Chains A and B, each alone.
Chain A
Protein backbone atom coordinates (compact mmCIF):
# COMPACT_ATOMS: atom_id res chain seq x y z
CA UNK A 1 0.00 0.00 0.00
CA UNK A 2 1.52 3.27 -1.02
CA UNK A 3 0.42 6.88 -0.64
CA UNK A 4 1.05 9.23 -3.53
CA UNK A 5 0.59 12.92 -2.77
CA UNK A 6 0.44 14.97 -5.97
CA UNK A 7 0.79 18.77 -5.99
CA UNK A 8 -1.19 19.13 -2.79
CA UNK A 9 -2.12 22.71 -1.90
CA UNK A 10 -4.28 23.74 1.02
CA UNK A 11 -5.44 27.28 1.69
CA UNK A 12 -7.25 28.15 4.92
CA UNK A 13 -9.91 30.88 4.75
CA UNK A 14 -9.44 31.45 1.00
CA UNK A 15 -10.44 34.87 -0.41
CA UNK A 16 -10.63 36.46 3.04
CA UNK A 17 -8.27 38.71 5.01
CA UNK A 18 -7.19 35.62 6.97
CA UNK A 19 -6.18 33.62 3.90
CA UNK A 20 -3.25 31.37 4.69
CA UNK A 21 -1.46 28.96 2.41
CA UNK A 22 -0.75 26.02 4.71
CA UNK A 23 0.46 23.62 2.02
CA UNK A 24 2.04 24.79 -1.19
CA UNK A 25 2.34 22.27 -4.03
CA UNK A 26 3.54 19.31 -1.97
CA UNK A 27 4.46 16.13 -3.83
CA UNK A 28 5.53 13.10 -1.83
CA UNK A 29 5.41 9.32 -2.08
CA UNK A 30 5.27 7.08 0.95
CA UNK A 31 5.85 3.39 0.24
CA UNK A 32 4.58 0.29 2.01
CA UNK A 33 6.42 -0.60 5.18
CA UNK A 34 8.26 2.69 5.36
CA UNK A 35 8.99 4.40 8.67
CA UNK A 36 8.81 8.09 7.90
CA UNK A 37 9.64 10.98 10.20
CA UNK A 38 7.85 14.26 9.46
CA UNK A 39 9.46 17.29 11.10
CA UNK A 40 8.98 21.03 10.93
CA UNK A 41 8.35 23.86 13.36
CA UNK A 42 4.85 24.86 14.48
CA UNK A 43 2.94 26.22 11.51
CA UNK A 44 5.13 24.54 8.90
CA UNK A 45 2.19 22.57 7.53
CA UNK A 46 2.87 19.11 8.88
CA UNK A 47 -0.41 18.76 10.78
CA UNK A 48 -2.36 20.04 7.78
CA UNK A 49 -0.62 17.43 5.66
CA UNK A 50 -1.48 14.48 7.91
CA UNK A 51 -5.07 15.66 8.30
CA UNK A 52 -5.40 15.28 4.52
CA UNK A 53 -4.05 11.76 4.65
CA UNK A 54 -7.02 10.32 6.49
CA UNK A 55 -9.57 12.59 4.86
CA UNK A 56 -10.17 14.93 7.81
CA UNK A 57 -9.75 17.88 5.44
CA UNK A 58 -9.84 18.13 1.64
CA UNK A 59 -7.23 19.62 -0.67
CA UNK A 60 -7.70 23.04 -2.22
CA UNK A 61 -5.69 21.76 -5.18
CA UNK A 62 -3.96 18.48 -5.95
CA UNK A 63 -4.79 14.92 -4.92
CA UNK A 64 -3.84 12.05 -2.66
CA UNK A 65 -3.84 8.55 -4.10
CA UNK A 66 -3.98 5.46 -1.91
CA UNK A 67 -2.93 2.52 -4.09
CA UNK A 68 -3.79 4.61 -7.13
CA UNK A 69 -7.25 5.70 -5.94
CA UNK A 70 -8.12 9.27 -4.98
CA UNK A 71 -9.07 9.22 -1.31
CA UNK A 72 -11.27 12.29 -1.56
CA UNK A 73 -13.31 11.10 -4.58
CA UNK A 74 -16.46 10.44 -2.50
CA UNK A 75 -17.62 10.04 1.09
CA UNK A 76 -17.67 6.26 0.92
CA UNK A 77 -14.06 6.17 -0.18
CA UNK A 78 -13.04 8.59 2.56
CA UNK A 79 -14.71 6.38 5.15
CA UNK A 80 -12.83 3.34 3.88
CA UNK A 81 -9.59 5.32 3.95
CA UNK A 82 -10.10 6.26 7.60
CA UNK A 83 -10.08 2.56 8.45
CA UNK A 84 -6.91 1.90 6.53
CA UNK A 85 -5.06 4.96 7.74
CA UNK A 86 -5.17 5.34 11.51
CA UNK A 87 -4.42 8.75 12.92
CA UNK A 88 -3.44 9.25 16.54
CA UNK A 89 -3.82 12.96 17.25
CA UNK A 90 -1.70 15.00 19.62
CA UNK A 91 -2.55 14.25 23.25
CA UNK A 92 -4.78 11.30 22.22
CA UNK A 93 -5.39 10.46 25.89
CA UNK A 94 -7.78 13.44 26.03
CA UNK A 95 -10.08 11.32 23.89
CA UNK A 96 -10.31 8.43 26.34
CA UNK A 97 -13.82 8.27 27.75
CA UNK A 98 -14.95 4.74 28.60
CA UNK A 99 -15.20 3.12 32.03
CA UNK A 100 -12.58 0.48 31.40
CA UNK A 101 -9.46 0.21 29.26
CA UNK A 102 -10.98 -2.72 27.36
CA UNK A 103 -14.20 -0.89 26.53
CA UNK A 104 -12.34 2.18 25.38
CA UNK A 105 -10.22 0.23 22.90
CA UNK A 106 -13.31 -1.75 21.78
CA UNK A 107 -15.19 1.44 20.84
CA UNK A 108 -13.74 1.70 17.32
CA UNK A 109 -14.16 -1.91 16.19
CA UNK A 110 -17.65 -2.03 17.74
CA UNK A 111 -18.66 0.90 15.55
CA UNK A 112 -17.27 -0.90 12.53
CA UNK A 113 -19.94 -3.53 13.18
CA UNK A 114 -17.55 -6.41 13.76
CA UNK A 115 -18.64 -9.59 15.54
CA UNK A 116 -17.99 -9.97 19.27
CA UNK A 117 -15.17 -12.45 18.62
CA UNK A 118 -13.50 -10.18 16.09
CA UNK A 119 -13.77 -7.22 18.43
CA UNK A 120 -12.19 -9.22 21.23
CA UNK A 121 -9.40 -10.38 18.97
CA UNK A 122 -8.68 -6.82 17.78
CA UNK A 123 -8.74 -5.35 21.28
CA UNK A 124 -6.43 -7.97 22.77
CA UNK A 125 -4.00 -7.75 19.90
CA UNK A 126 -3.96 -3.93 19.93
CA UNK A 127 -3.33 -3.74 23.67
CA UNK A 128 -0.64 -6.38 23.38
CA UNK A 129 1.09 -4.38 20.64
CA UNK A 130 1.39 -1.33 22.89
CA UNK A 131 2.47 -3.39 25.89
CA UNK A 132 -0.65 -3.06 28.06
CA UNK A 133 -1.15 -6.28 30.04
CA UNK A 134 -4.45 -8.05 30.80
CA UNK A 135 -4.29 -6.93 34.45
CA UNK A 136 -5.15 -3.39 33.28
CA UNK A 137 -8.13 -4.36 31.07
CA UNK A 138 -10.78 -3.71 33.73
CA UNK A 139 -9.09 -0.62 35.18
CA UNK A 140 -10.36 2.86 34.50
CA UNK A 141 -8.20 4.45 31.79
CA UNK A 142 -8.10 7.58 33.98
CA UNK A 143 -6.28 5.71 36.77
CA UNK A 144 -3.29 4.97 34.53
CA UNK A 145 -0.03 6.87 34.20
CA UNK A 146 0.43 9.44 31.42
CA UNK A 147 2.45 7.04 29.27
CA UNK A 148 -0.02 4.19 29.80
CA UNK A 149 -3.01 6.41 28.95
CA UNK A 150 -1.39 7.41 25.72
CA UNK A 151 -0.61 3.81 24.80
CA UNK A 152 -4.24 2.82 25.46
CA UNK A 153 -5.37 5.71 23.21
CA UNK A 154 -3.02 4.51 20.46
CA UNK A 155 -4.35 0.96 20.94
CA UNK A 156 -7.80 2.40 20.21
CA UNK A 157 -6.52 3.39 16.76
CA UNK A 158 -4.73 0.07 16.25
CA UNK A 159 -7.89 -1.90 17.09
CA UNK A 160 -9.34 -0.69 13.79
CA UNK A 161 -6.55 -2.68 12.09
CA UNK A 162 -5.07 0.16 10.06
CA UNK A 163 -2.41 -0.51 7.45
CA UNK A 164 -0.84 2.87 7.93
CA UNK A 165 -0.40 4.50 11.33
CA UNK A 166 0.14 8.24 11.68
CA UNK A 167 1.21 9.59 15.06
CA UNK A 168 1.16 13.33 15.72
CA UNK A 169 3.69 14.17 18.45
CA UNK A 170 3.21 10.90 20.33
CA UNK A 171 5.79 11.75 23.01
CA UNK A 172 4.86 15.41 23.70
CA UNK A 173 4.56 16.14 27.40
CA UNK A 174 5.65 12.67 28.53
CA UNK A 175 8.51 12.06 30.92
CA UNK A 176 11.58 10.17 29.65
CA UNK A 177 10.26 6.79 30.77
CA UNK A 178 6.83 7.29 29.22
CA UNK A 179 8.51 8.49 26.05
CA UNK A 180 10.74 5.40 25.84
CA UNK A 181 7.73 3.09 26.37
CA UNK A 182 5.80 4.72 23.53
CA UNK A 183 8.77 4.72 21.17
CA UNK A 184 9.49 1.05 21.91
CA UNK A 185 5.86 0.20 21.14
CA UNK A 186 5.96 2.15 17.86
CA UNK A 187 9.23 0.56 16.82
CA UNK A 188 7.73 -2.84 17.51
CA UNK A 189 4.64 -2.08 15.41
CA UNK A 190 6.80 -1.21 12.47
CA UNK A 191 9.23 -4.09 12.82
CA UNK A 192 6.98 -6.98 13.88
CA UNK A 193 3.71 -6.04 12.21
CA UNK A 194 5.17 -4.39 9.14
CA UNK A 195 2.94 -1.34 9.62
CA UNK A 196 3.73 1.77 7.60
CA UNK A 197 4.38 4.45 10.21
CA UNK A 198 4.45 8.23 9.84
CA UNK A 199 5.85 9.90 12.94
CA UNK A 200 5.35 13.64 13.38
CA UNK A 201 7.72 15.02 15.97
CA UNK A 202 9.66 18.03 17.26
CA UNK A 203 12.15 15.72 18.92
CA UNK A 204 15.11 15.19 16.65
CA UNK A 205 16.55 12.68 19.15
CA UNK A 206 13.44 10.47 18.81
CA UNK A 207 13.36 10.75 15.04
CA UNK A 208 17.08 10.00 14.72
CA UNK A 209 16.67 6.75 16.66
CA UNK A 210 13.74 5.34 14.72
CA UNK A 211 12.96 6.37 11.18
CA UNK A 212 14.19 5.31 7.72
CA UNK A 213 13.51 8.64 6.08
CA UNK A 214 12.96 12.20 7.26
CA UNK A 215 10.80 14.74 5.47
CA UNK A 216 11.34 18.31 6.64
CA UNK A 217 8.44 20.73 6.11
CA UNK A 218 8.97 24.47 5.97
CA UNK A 219 6.46 27.19 5.01
CA UNK A 220 4.07 24.61 3.59
CA UNK A 221 6.67 23.00 1.36
CA UNK A 222 9.01 20.04 1.56
CA UNK A 223 12.39 21.56 2.34
CA UNK A 224 14.39 18.34 2.69
CA UNK A 225 13.83 14.62 2.28
CA UNK A 226 16.39 11.96 2.98
CA UNK A 227 17.85 9.48 5.46
CA UNK A 228 18.57 10.79 8.98
CA UNK A 229 22.23 10.81 8.01
CA UNK A 230 21.59 13.10 5.04
CA UNK A 231 19.22 15.43 6.88
CA UNK A 232 21.23 15.79 10.09
CA UNK A 233 24.36 16.66 8.18
CA UNK A 234 22.64 19.98 7.31
CA UNK A 235 22.70 21.42 10.83
CA UNK A 236 22.77 25.07 9.71
CA UNK A 237 19.84 24.75 7.33
CA UNK A 238 17.80 22.96 10.00
CA UNK A 239 18.48 25.78 12.45
CA UNK A 240 17.46 28.40 9.90
CA UNK A 241 14.14 26.58 9.65
CA UNK A 242 13.68 26.78 13.41
CA UNK A 243 14.70 23.17 13.97
CA UNK A 244 17.69 21.58 15.62
CA UNK A 245 19.73 18.44 15.09
CA UNK A 246 20.36 15.96 17.94
CA UNK A 247 23.05 17.06 20.43
CA UNK A 248 25.26 14.29 19.03
CA UNK A 249 25.32 15.98 15.61
CA UNK A 250 26.67 19.17 17.17
CA UNK A 251 29.47 17.28 18.92
CA UNK A 252 30.46 15.71 15.60
CA UNK A 253 30.33 19.06 13.85
CA UNK A 254 32.58 20.68 16.49
CA UNK A 255 35.06 17.79 16.37
CA UNK A 256 35.21 18.04 12.59
CA UNK A 257 35.92 21.74 12.91
CA UNK A 258 38.83 20.86 15.21
CA UNK A 259 40.26 18.69 12.46
CA UNK A 260 39.10 15.22 13.48
CA UNK A 261 37.89 12.91 10.73
CA UNK A 262 34.37 12.15 11.99
CA UNK A 263 32.16 10.09 9.66
CA UNK A 264 28.93 11.73 8.44
CA UNK A 265 26.61 8.96 9.60
CA UNK A 266 26.90 9.46 13.37
CA UNK A 267 23.76 10.91 14.95
CA UNK A 268 22.73 8.73 17.91
CA UNK A 269 24.28 8.28 21.37
CA UNK A 270 25.36 4.68 20.72
CA UNK A 271 26.91 5.56 17.34
CA UNK A 272 28.88 8.44 18.84
CA UNK A 273 30.04 6.26 21.70
CA UNK A 274 31.27 3.52 19.32
CA UNK A 275 32.98 6.03 17.06
CA UNK A 276 34.75 7.84 19.90
CA UNK A 277 35.75 4.58 21.55
CA UNK A 278 37.41 3.47 18.35
CA UNK A 279 39.05 6.84 17.82
CA UNK A 280 40.36 7.17 21.37
CA UNK A 281 41.54 3.56 21.65
CA UNK A 282 43.24 3.49 18.25
CA UNK A 283 45.37 6.42 19.21
CA UNK A 284 46.24 4.69 22.50
CA UNK A 285 47.30 1.47 20.75
CA UNK A 286 49.41 3.16 18.10
CA UNK A 287 51.62 4.90 20.63
Chain B
Protein backbone atom coordinates (compact mmCIF):
# COMPACT_ATOMS: atom_id res chain seq x y z
CA UNK B 1 0.00 0.00 0.00
CA UNK B 2 1.09 3.57 -0.60
CA UNK B 3 1.70 5.32 2.66
CA UNK B 4 2.45 8.72 1.14
CA UNK B 5 1.94 9.66 -2.47
CA UNK B 6 2.52 13.12 -3.91
CA UNK B 7 1.51 13.94 -7.48
CA UNK B 8 2.73 17.14 -9.13
CA UNK B 9 2.96 18.67 -5.66
CA UNK B 10 3.64 22.40 -5.91
CA UNK B 11 3.66 24.91 -3.08
CA UNK B 12 3.95 28.66 -3.52
CA UNK B 13 3.81 31.50 -1.06
CA UNK B 14 4.58 35.18 -0.82
CA UNK B 15 7.39 36.11 1.50
CA UNK B 16 7.13 39.56 3.00
CA UNK B 17 10.26 41.05 4.50
CA UNK B 18 11.15 44.55 5.46
CA UNK B 19 14.25 46.40 4.40
CA UNK B 20 15.29 50.05 4.61
CA UNK B 21 12.88 50.93 1.77
CA UNK B 22 9.83 49.27 3.33
CA UNK B 23 8.06 45.99 2.66
CA UNK B 24 9.37 43.64 0.02
CA UNK B 25 7.04 41.03 -1.46
CA UNK B 26 8.68 38.01 -3.01
CA UNK B 27 6.93 35.07 -4.61
CA UNK B 28 8.60 31.84 -3.56
CA UNK B 29 8.06 28.43 -5.13
CA UNK B 30 9.06 26.13 -2.30
CA UNK B 31 8.07 22.91 -4.07
CA UNK B 32 7.68 22.41 -7.76
CA UNK B 33 6.02 19.38 -9.36
CA UNK B 34 7.24 16.81 -6.83
CA UNK B 35 6.20 13.18 -7.41
CA UNK B 36 7.12 10.85 -4.56
CA UNK B 37 5.59 7.53 -3.59
CA UNK B 38 6.53 6.02 -0.24
CA UNK B 39 5.40 2.47 0.43
CA UNK B 40 4.16 1.19 3.78
CA UNK B 41 7.02 -0.02 5.99
CA UNK B 42 9.76 1.88 4.15
CA UNK B 43 12.55 3.82 5.86
CA UNK B 44 13.05 6.86 3.68
CA UNK B 45 15.52 9.74 4.04
CA UNK B 46 14.99 13.14 2.43
CA UNK B 47 18.13 15.22 1.84
CA UNK B 48 18.57 18.78 0.64
CA UNK B 49 20.31 21.94 1.80
CA UNK B 50 18.53 24.48 3.99
CA UNK B 51 15.81 26.19 2.00
CA UNK B 52 15.63 23.37 -0.56
CA UNK B 53 11.99 22.63 0.27
CA UNK B 54 12.38 19.38 2.20
CA UNK B 55 10.70 20.65 5.37
CA UNK B 56 7.89 22.10 3.24
CA UNK B 57 7.40 18.62 1.84
CA UNK B 58 7.35 17.14 5.35
CA UNK B 59 4.71 19.62 6.49
CA UNK B 60 2.44 18.54 3.64
CA UNK B 61 2.43 14.96 4.93
CA UNK B 62 1.04 16.13 8.25
CA UNK B 63 -1.42 18.47 6.48
CA UNK B 64 0.21 21.48 8.13
CA UNK B 65 0.43 22.89 4.60
CA UNK B 66 -1.88 22.42 1.66
CA UNK B 67 -0.64 22.09 -1.93
CA UNK B 68 -1.00 25.12 -4.22
CA UNK B 69 -1.16 22.70 -7.15
CA UNK B 70 -1.13 18.92 -7.31
CA UNK B 71 -2.01 16.57 -4.46
CA UNK B 72 -0.54 14.70 -1.54
CA UNK B 73 -2.30 11.67 -0.10
CA UNK B 74 -1.61 9.80 3.13
CA UNK B 75 -3.06 6.28 2.88
CA UNK B 76 -5.18 7.53 -0.03
CA UNK B 77 -6.55 10.38 2.09
CA UNK B 78 -6.24 13.70 0.24
CA UNK B 79 -4.74 16.33 2.58
CA UNK B 80 -6.90 19.03 0.96
CA UNK B 81 -10.00 17.41 2.42
CA UNK B 82 -10.55 19.18 5.75
CA UNK B 83 -12.86 16.40 7.00
CA UNK B 84 -9.94 13.97 6.95
CA UNK B 85 -7.54 16.29 8.80
CA UNK B 86 -7.60 14.42 12.11
CA UNK B 87 -7.40 11.01 10.47
CA UNK B 88 -4.39 12.17 8.49
CA UNK B 89 -2.66 13.63 11.55
CA UNK B 90 -3.34 10.48 13.51
CA UNK B 91 -1.87 8.35 10.70
CA UNK B 92 1.19 10.50 10.08
CA UNK B 93 2.81 11.84 13.23
CA UNK B 94 5.52 14.47 13.22
CA UNK B 95 8.67 15.05 15.28
CA UNK B 96 10.51 18.35 14.96
CA UNK B 97 14.09 19.53 15.40
CA UNK B 98 13.92 21.20 18.78
CA UNK B 99 12.73 18.89 21.56
CA UNK B 100 11.97 21.83 23.84
CA UNK B 101 9.37 23.17 21.41
CA UNK B 102 7.20 20.06 21.31
CA UNK B 103 6.95 18.82 24.90
CA UNK B 104 3.89 20.36 26.54
CA UNK B 105 3.43 18.79 29.98
CA UNK B 106 5.50 18.96 33.16
CA UNK B 107 5.59 15.17 33.63
CA UNK B 108 6.80 12.75 30.97
CA UNK B 109 3.80 10.40 31.05
CA UNK B 110 1.35 13.30 30.94
CA UNK B 111 3.14 14.63 27.91
CA UNK B 112 2.76 11.32 26.10
CA UNK B 113 -0.92 11.12 27.10
CA UNK B 114 -1.62 14.54 25.57
CA UNK B 115 -2.23 13.22 22.03
CA UNK B 116 -4.58 10.33 22.85
CA UNK B 117 -6.42 12.50 25.42
CA UNK B 118 -7.23 14.98 22.67
CA UNK B 119 -8.41 12.17 20.44
CA UNK B 120 -10.92 11.16 23.12
CA UNK B 121 -9.34 7.81 23.89
CA UNK B 122 -10.64 5.94 26.98
CA UNK B 123 -8.53 6.58 30.13
CA UNK B 124 -7.67 2.89 30.59
CA UNK B 125 -6.59 2.66 26.96
CA UNK B 126 -4.51 5.86 27.36
CA UNK B 127 -2.70 4.31 30.32
CA UNK B 128 -1.93 1.25 28.20
CA UNK B 129 -0.73 3.28 25.23
CA UNK B 130 1.49 5.51 27.38
CA UNK B 131 3.16 2.49 28.99
CA UNK B 132 3.65 0.79 25.63
CA UNK B 133 5.04 3.93 24.02
CA UNK B 134 7.47 4.46 26.91
CA UNK B 135 8.61 0.84 26.64
CA UNK B 136 9.10 1.15 22.88
CA UNK B 137 11.43 4.13 23.23
CA UNK B 138 13.03 2.47 26.32
CA UNK B 139 12.19 5.31 28.69
CA UNK B 140 9.96 3.46 31.21
CA UNK B 141 12.03 4.49 34.20
CA UNK B 142 11.52 8.18 33.36
CA UNK B 143 7.69 8.07 33.34
CA UNK B 144 7.31 10.44 36.28
CA UNK B 145 10.28 12.71 35.52
CA UNK B 146 9.99 16.30 34.44
CA UNK B 147 11.05 16.61 30.77
CA UNK B 148 13.34 19.47 31.81
CA UNK B 149 15.54 16.99 33.68
CA UNK B 150 16.17 14.87 30.56
CA UNK B 151 18.96 15.06 27.99
CA UNK B 152 18.25 16.18 24.41
CA UNK B 153 18.23 12.61 23.11
CA UNK B 154 15.87 11.51 25.88
CA UNK B 155 13.55 14.45 25.15
CA UNK B 156 13.38 13.49 21.49
CA UNK B 157 12.55 9.91 22.45
CA UNK B 158 9.69 11.28 24.61
CA UNK B 159 8.51 13.34 21.64
CA UNK B 160 8.57 10.14 19.55
CA UNK B 161 6.65 8.29 22.29
CA UNK B 162 4.03 11.06 22.23
CA UNK B 163 3.54 10.39 18.52
CA UNK B 164 3.50 6.61 19.08
CA UNK B 165 0.66 6.93 21.60
CA UNK B 166 -1.52 8.14 18.71
CA UNK B 167 -0.89 4.78 16.99
CA UNK B 168 0.41 6.24 13.74
CA UNK B 169 1.28 4.26 10.60
CA UNK B 170 3.97 6.71 9.62
CA UNK B 171 6.29 9.10 11.46
CA UNK B 172 7.88 12.12 9.80
CA UNK B 173 10.99 13.40 11.58
CA UNK B 174 12.35 16.80 10.56
CA UNK B 175 16.04 16.92 11.54
CA UNK B 176 15.38 15.26 14.91
CA UNK B 177 19.09 14.93 15.73
CA UNK B 178 20.34 18.37 14.62
CA UNK B 179 20.57 19.70 18.19
CA UNK B 180 21.88 16.53 19.84
CA UNK B 181 25.33 15.35 20.84
CA UNK B 182 26.75 12.08 19.42
CA UNK B 183 25.17 9.91 22.14
CA UNK B 184 21.77 11.55 21.76
CA UNK B 185 21.93 11.13 17.99
CA UNK B 186 22.70 7.46 18.34
CA UNK B 187 19.83 6.89 20.81
CA UNK B 188 17.31 8.60 18.57
CA UNK B 189 18.47 6.89 15.39
CA UNK B 190 18.41 3.46 17.03
CA UNK B 191 14.88 4.16 18.26
CA UNK B 192 13.77 5.18 14.77
CA UNK B 193 15.27 2.09 13.17
CA UNK B 194 13.70 -0.20 15.75
CA UNK B 195 10.25 1.34 15.18
CA UNK B 196 10.68 0.69 11.48
CA UNK B 197 11.93 -2.88 11.78
CA UNK B 198 9.95 -4.15 14.75
CA UNK B 199 6.74 -2.13 14.64
CA UNK B 200 6.60 -1.80 10.85
CA UNK B 201 6.12 1.97 11.08
CA UNK B 202 6.94 3.89 7.91
CA UNK B 203 9.73 6.37 8.64
CA UNK B 204 10.40 9.57 6.72
CA UNK B 205 13.56 11.12 8.09
CA UNK B 206 14.85 14.53 7.07
CA UNK B 207 18.49 14.99 7.97
CA UNK B 208 21.82 16.61 7.15
CA UNK B 209 23.78 13.71 8.58
CA UNK B 210 24.90 11.42 5.80
CA UNK B 211 25.75 8.58 8.19
CA UNK B 212 22.02 8.50 9.03
CA UNK B 213 21.04 8.58 5.36
CA UNK B 214 23.18 5.56 4.43
CA UNK B 215 20.98 3.40 6.69
CA UNK B 216 17.77 4.17 4.76
CA UNK B 217 15.94 1.94 2.27
CA UNK B 218 15.57 4.86 -0.13
CA UNK B 219 16.98 8.36 -0.38
CA UNK B 220 15.33 11.37 -2.03
CA UNK B 221 17.27 14.54 -2.77
CA UNK B 222 15.38 17.83 -3.08
CA UNK B 223 17.06 20.90 -4.51
CA UNK B 224 15.46 24.27 -5.22
CA UNK B 225 11.99 22.76 -4.64
CA UNK B 226 12.46 19.97 -7.16
CA UNK B 227 13.03 16.26 -6.68
CA UNK B 228 16.45 15.78 -8.29
CA UNK B 229 17.65 12.34 -7.16
CA UNK B 230 15.98 9.17 -5.97
CA UNK B 231 17.42 5.75 -5.23
CA UNK B 232 18.97 3.38 -2.72
CA UNK B 233 21.83 4.90 -0.69
CA UNK B 234 24.53 3.24 -2.78
CA UNK B 235 23.12 4.74 -6.00
CA UNK B 236 22.86 8.18 -4.46
CA UNK B 237 26.16 8.42 -2.61
CA UNK B 238 28.28 7.04 -5.44
CA UNK B 239 27.52 10.32 -7.24
CA UNK B 240 29.86 12.44 -5.11
CA UNK B 241 30.24 15.43 -7.43
CA UNK B 242 26.54 15.71 -8.09
CA UNK B 243 25.71 15.67 -4.37
CA UNK B 244 28.36 18.27 -3.65
CA UNK B 245 26.81 20.37 -6.42
CA UNK B 246 23.56 20.33 -4.42
CA UNK B 247 25.46 21.57 -1.36
CA UNK B 248 25.43 18.15 0.31
CA UNK B 249 28.08 15.95 1.85
CA UNK B 250 28.97 12.33 1.44
CA UNK B 251 30.25 10.14 4.31
CA UNK B 252 33.99 10.64 4.93
CA UNK B 253 34.84 7.12 3.72
CA UNK B 254 32.89 7.66 0.48
CA UNK B 255 34.80 10.89 -0.08
CA UNK B 256 38.18 9.21 0.51
CA UNK B 257 37.26 6.41 -1.93
CA UNK B 258 36.16 9.02 -4.47
CA UNK B 259 39.43 10.97 -4.15
CA UNK B 260 41.46 7.76 -4.50
CA UNK B 261 39.49 6.76 -7.59
CA UNK B 262 40.36 10.13 -9.12
CA UNK B 263 44.04 9.23 -8.59
CA UNK B 264 43.54 6.01 -10.48
CA UNK B 265 43.10 3.63 -7.55
CA UNK B 266 40.35 1.21 -8.55
CA UNK B 267 38.09 1.15 -5.47
CA UNK B 268 34.30 0.63 -5.64
CA UNK B 269 32.38 3.92 -6.02
CA UNK B 270 29.66 2.85 -3.59
CA UNK B 271 31.62 2.53 -0.34
CA UNK B 272 29.41 3.87 2.45
CA UNK B 273 30.67 2.38 5.71
CA UNK B 274 33.93 1.98 7.61
CA UNK B 275 33.77 -1.82 7.17
CA UNK B 276 33.30 -1.52 3.39
CA UNK B 277 36.24 0.87 3.17
CA UNK B 278 38.56 -1.35 5.18
CA UNK B 279 37.41 -4.42 3.21
CA UNK B 280 38.01 -2.70 -0.12
CA UNK B 281 41.52 -1.62 0.87
CA UNK B 282 42.47 -5.10 2.06
CA UNK B 283 41.13 -6.60 -1.14
CA UNK B 284 42.94 -4.04 -3.27
CA UNK B 285 46.21 -4.78 -1.48
CA UNK B 286 45.82 -8.50 -2.06
CA UNK B 287 45.12 -8.15 -5.80
CA UNK B 288 48.07 -5.91 -6.72
A interface with B by C-beta (< 8 Å): 41-43, 99-100, 138-140, 142-143, 145-147, 172-178, 202, 204-205, 242-244, 246-248, 250-251, 254-255, 258, 269-270, 272-273, 276-277, 280-281, 283-284, 287
Contact = CB atoms under 8 A, between A and B. Distances in A.
Leading 3 A-B pairs by shortest Cβ distance = A177-B247, A247-B252, A242-B183
A173 B252 contact: no
Contacts of A251: 253, 256, 274, 277-278
Contacts of A258: 278, 282
Interface string B173-211: 001001111111000000000000000000000001001
Interface stretch (B18-26, B64-72, B85-93): B18-26
Nearest to A248: B252
Contacts of A246: 252
Given A242-B183, A247-B252, A280-B265, A273 B260 contact: yes
Contact of B278 (A41, A205, A255): A255
Nearest to A43: B151
B49 interface: yes
The secondary-structure label for the interface of chain B is mixed
Given A175-B49, A176-B247, A284-B288, A247 B211 contact: yes
Interface in B260-288: 260, 263, 265, 274-275, 277-278, 281-282, 284-285, 288
Given A174-B50, A251-B274, A287-B288, A202 B260 contact: no
A143 B15 contact: yes
B51 interface: yes
A120 B265 CA distance: 53
Interface of B: 15, 17-21, 24, 26, 48-51, 97, 151-152, 175, 178-184, 208, 211, 247-249, 251-253, 255-256, 259-260, 263, 265, 274-275, 277-278, 281-282, 284-285, 288
Contact of A140 (B18, B48, B285): B18
A176 B249 contact: yes
Nearest to B184: A42
Given A139-B19, A254-B274, A280-B265, A175 B253 contact: no
A142 B23 CA distance: 12
A43 B183 CA distance: 12
Contact of A276 (B21, B48, B208, B260): B260
Given A244-B182, A251-B277, A175 B284 contact: no
A277 B260 CA distance: 7
Contacts of B184: 42
Nearest to A259: B282
B274 A250 contact: yes
A237 to B, nearest CB: 14
A41 B260 contact: no
B274 A247 contact: yes
A269 B19 contact: no
A283 B285 contact: yes
B49 A205 contact: no
A91 to B, nearest CB: 9
Contacts of B179: 172-173
Contacts of B275: 254
Given A248-B256, A277-B260, A280-B288, A99 B19 contact: yes
Contact of B19 (A140, A145, A242, A283): A140
Nearest to A91: B179
Nearest to A42: B181
Contacts of B51: 145-146
Contacts of B208: 174-176
Contacts of A244: 182
Contacts of B50: 145-147, 174-175, 178
